[in-house]
Structure 1
Amino acid sequence: MKTLRTLALAGAAALATAAGAIAQDLPQIRAAVLKIGTVNWELETIKANGFDKKHGFELVVQPFADNGATRVALEGGEADLAVADWIWVARQRAAGKDYVVVPYSKAVGGLVVGADSDIQSLQDLKGKKVGIAGGPLDKSWLILRAYAEQEYGMDLKAETEQVFGAPPLIFKSGLSGETDGAINFWHFLAKMKAAGMREVISVETASSALGLDPETPLLGYVMKESFLAENPDLGHAMYRASRDAKELLASDDAAWEAIRPMMNAKTDAQFETLKTDFRAGIPADAPVSEAGADALLKVMASLGGAELVGEATELPKGLFLTSE
């Protein structure tokens, strides 16, 4: 005669087998991401908490060494999702590619200076050396240029010396004082602020002054319409799983302890600043304002030209996929 313990074990095994079978039947979303990218914090939160399976899919993370490789994987069908700023996606869509964006983050950069610097505004950068990550077409740099022109009649490009480099290089040169100010990606700026550097102006503040909508998310999960046509529920499922992860990270400090090992935070101050700035970059759970996005695109087109936006002189229709 079977004991209660035996029956219980058999029942648990049957449930595990059934759960495994269900998991195997779930459609997959293969995400091509930068191996050390901050998006991994959210993706790991999705997977660790089962938010993907809750919404009917299995998230498979595929790490790559650089962003270019993630885009090649998406284009070639080796991945179903990549991460990019939507200005780039708009350019691709205007050129005929069927890319759509699931909003991910509105985290943006700004200008930081040394704690003892006498620079109080962009106007004080005249004749100074500025380190800029991302190159001459970096979106933060372009928005700050537009702001300086509007507020001070100042051409930042002509009146400062620019040093362009990879984010780690700009991080080091800013901390060492080799440059008078630095414009970097948000997570490097968080670490710079944790080390004592002071923010002069954020891109969010500059955007608001320019009449742009600071709530417009810049980064998104990029998917193909052809993939979504074959899997009509997966775009919205990814959006909802992403929102679940965001809500957890926004409200639960314990969730951050789980991902701390992948954050490359060398001090508690870095960890806390990264957490604070990530939370500040969480966009509203609402459709993207197309008017706001179009206004931002026009600013980018005016300063970056075709080299930045290609043929996307206005917001392509159907660019954003949000909630149902």
Structure 2
Amino acid sequence: MPQPTAPRARRTPIRATCALLLLLGGTAAAQKTLNVGLQAGGTLSWVTFAIQKYGIDRDLGFRLNTTTYASKDATRVALRAGDAQVVVDDFLEVTLLRQKGFPVSAIYPFSLITGGVIVPAGSDIRTVADLKGQTLGATSLTDKTLLILRAYTRRQGFDVQSAAKVASVSSPLMEQFMNRGEIQAGIPFWHHGARMVSTGKFRTLISSADLLRGLGLPQNVPLLYLVARTDADPATLRLFLKAVNQANERMKTDPAFWTAMLDANLYALPDRSQLPALRTQWAAGLPKRWTAADLNATLLLTRRMIEVAGPDVVGLTRLDTRAFNTSYRP
């Protein structure tokens, strides 16, 4: 009698198997998430808005979650608690956070030092030396550009802190104070400065780039960094940096994005004719690289600031380079 034959096992075609594996892999990648903490009014919200608007996170295989906090201190609390895995903070604060026990490191520059000292267009102030005896508005005595200006003027033979009167003025109010003659010069945030100069009523006395050049430093020194928890997934962080880079490129060339961003109330710009100036200044502050040389420039700048203003004003005695990680790339 013929022996019964065992039923043949069904074979899944190789192509179907590969497709299934790719599908499963894509699903796993899509489940990667990153929680980013945004400061209300901060420009990181512009970039995350672009990432989500263009679907860049989806295309790269991760999900971006954002939460907006009322202040920078609130973002730091969220970072320490683990509610946020990435925030933006300045180069001095990264060291201070580490000293306070925050498990974080700066993984990539977010914005360069831009802006500068602004004066009325018709002002008699023509050089930095003309600031002597004048009232200079700054957001605080620890404002980074003010500290850089102090280091610069020390090289010119005087300290603007003592040679002029430095008044604490909110950045959005500097235009009004100058119009009333209560201050003769100001150091507004870069976006307020760009808007002021675009009206033709104000001009830049000296840019931050020229101040850095006068100190013998590169002009592309980072001010703000993307700061991440050290327990965040490195692969997801790299995807996020890639998303930030792609979003920046799209933002440079898409006028419709900026209209949508303003319509979403991510920035208050009462006069939209100032938008081109805002976009130009924003693009000028984008970092172009992240290397040990950039970190060294930040280290040298911090030393100059501590030398001129003292550790009590700057807030630390030295920059902890271990708080910075140059291995990340977009």
**Structure-2 change in CA distance of 1:36 and 1:318 (3 Å):** closer
Larger radius of gyration: 2
The 5-angstrom pairing of residues 41-60 of structure 1 reads 41-60=46-65
Identity of aligned residues (%): 29
Letter in 1 for 2:160: L
Counterpart for residue 193 of structure 1: 197
Question: 1:43 Cα deviation (Å)?
Answer: 1.3
Q: CA deviation at 1:92?
A: 2.4
Q: Which SS does the other structure have where 2:321 is aligned?
A: coil
The equivalent of 2:74 in structure 1 is: 69
Instruction: Choose from 138, 143, 148 the match for 1:132.
Output: 138
Aligned match of 1:264? 268
Whether 1:103 and 2:105 are equivalent positions in the alignment is: no
User: In the alignment, which residue of structure 2 is the partner of 1:232?
Assistant: 234
Deviation at 1:115, TM superposition (A): 1.1
Are residues 1:83 and 2:88 paired? Answer: yes
Residue 119 of structure 2 is aligned with which of 92, 104, 113?
Answer: 113
Change (3 A) 1:189 1:23: farther
8 Å contact kept, 1:106–1:283 = yes
Structure-2-length-normalised TM-score: 0.84
Alpha-carbon shift at residue 268 of structure 1 (Å) = 3.2
Q: Kindly state the Cα deviation for residue 41 of structure 1 after the two structures are TM-superposed.
A: 1.2
How far apart, in 2, do the equivalents of 1:120 and 1:157 lie? 18
CA distance in 1, matches of 2:39, 2:272: 24
Determine helix, strand or coil for the equivalent of 1:105: strand
User: Alpha-carbon deviations, 1:221-262, whole Å to 9, x = none?
Assistant: 2111122xxx12122112111111111122333332332323
- Aligned partner of residue 137 in structure 1, secondary structure: coil
Which amino acid letter does the alignment assign opposite residue 126 of structure 2? Q
Number of residue pairs matched by the alignment: 301
CA contact (8 A) 1:108 1:186 kept: yes
Per the alignment, residue 165 of structure 2 pairs with 161
CA pair 86-296 structure 1, distance change in 2 beyond 3 A:
same
Contact 1:190–1:277 (8 Å) recurs in 2: yes
Q: Which amino acid aligns with 2:115?
A: G
Q: 1:311, CA displacement in angstroms?
A: 4.8
Partner secondary structure for residue 109 of structure 2 = strand
How far apart are the structure 2 equivalents of 1:285 and 1:316?
Answer: 17
CA–CA distance in 2 between the matches of 1:175 and 1:27? 51
Residues 34 and 171 (structure 1), Cα distance of their counterparts in 2 relative to 1, 3 Å cut: farther
| Cα distance change, pair 239–307 in 1 and its aligned pair in 2 (3 A) | farther
Corresponding letter in the other structure for 1:126:
K
- Residue 300 of structure 1 pairs with residue 305 of structure 2: yes
Match of 2:129 among 120, 123, 128: 123
Distance 1:167-1:311 versus aligned 2 partners, 3 A rule: closer
**Residues 117/309 of structure 1: CA separation in 2 closer, same or farther (3 Å cut):** closer
Report the CA distance shift for 1:277/1:58 in structure 2 as closer, same or farther (over 3 A).
same
Q: 1:168 to 1:222 in 2, by over 3 A?
A: same
| Aligned residue number for residue 37 of structure 1 | 42
RMSD over aligned CA atoms reads: 2.3
- Give the unaligned 5+ runs of structure 1: 1-17
Which deviates further from its counterpart, 35-44 or 165-174? 165-174
What secondary structure is seen at the aligned counterpart in 2 of 1:222? strand
- 1:97 deviation in Å? 3.3
Q: 1:209 Cα shift?
A: 1.4
| 8 Å Cα contact 1:109-1:186 kept in structure 2 | yes
Q: 1:116 to 1:311 in 2, by over 3 A?
A: closer
Deviates more, 1:136-145 or 1:165-174: 165-174
Q: Which runs of 5+ in 2 are unaligned?
A: 1-22
Structure 1 residue 179 corresponds to structure 2 residue 183:
yes
Q: Does 1:247 align with 2:249?
A: yes
Structure 1 residue 36, shift from structure 2 partner:
1.7
Q: Contact between 1:298 and 1:313, CA under 8 Å: does it hold in 2?
A: yes
TM-superposed CA distance for 1:199, in Å, is 0.5
TM-score, with length taken from structure 1: 0.85
In the aligned structure 2, how far is the partner of 1:51 from the partner of 1:305? 44
Comparing 283-292 with 46-55, which one deviates more in the overlay?
A: 283-292
Closer/same/farther in 2, CA of residues 106 and 211 from structure 1, 3 Å limit: same
Q: Which residue of 1 aligns with 2:324?
A: 319
Whole-angstrom CA distance in 2 between matches of 1:141 and 1:104: 20
In structure 1, what is the Cα distance between the partners aligned to 2:135 and 2:43?
28
Distance in 2 separating the partners of 1:311 and 1:264: 34
Distance 1:155 1:240, change over 3 A: same
Instruction: Give the equivalent residue in structure 1 for 2:216.
Output: 211
Q: Report the Cα distance in structure 2 between the residues aligned to 1:165 and 1:275, rounded to whole angstroms.
A: 25
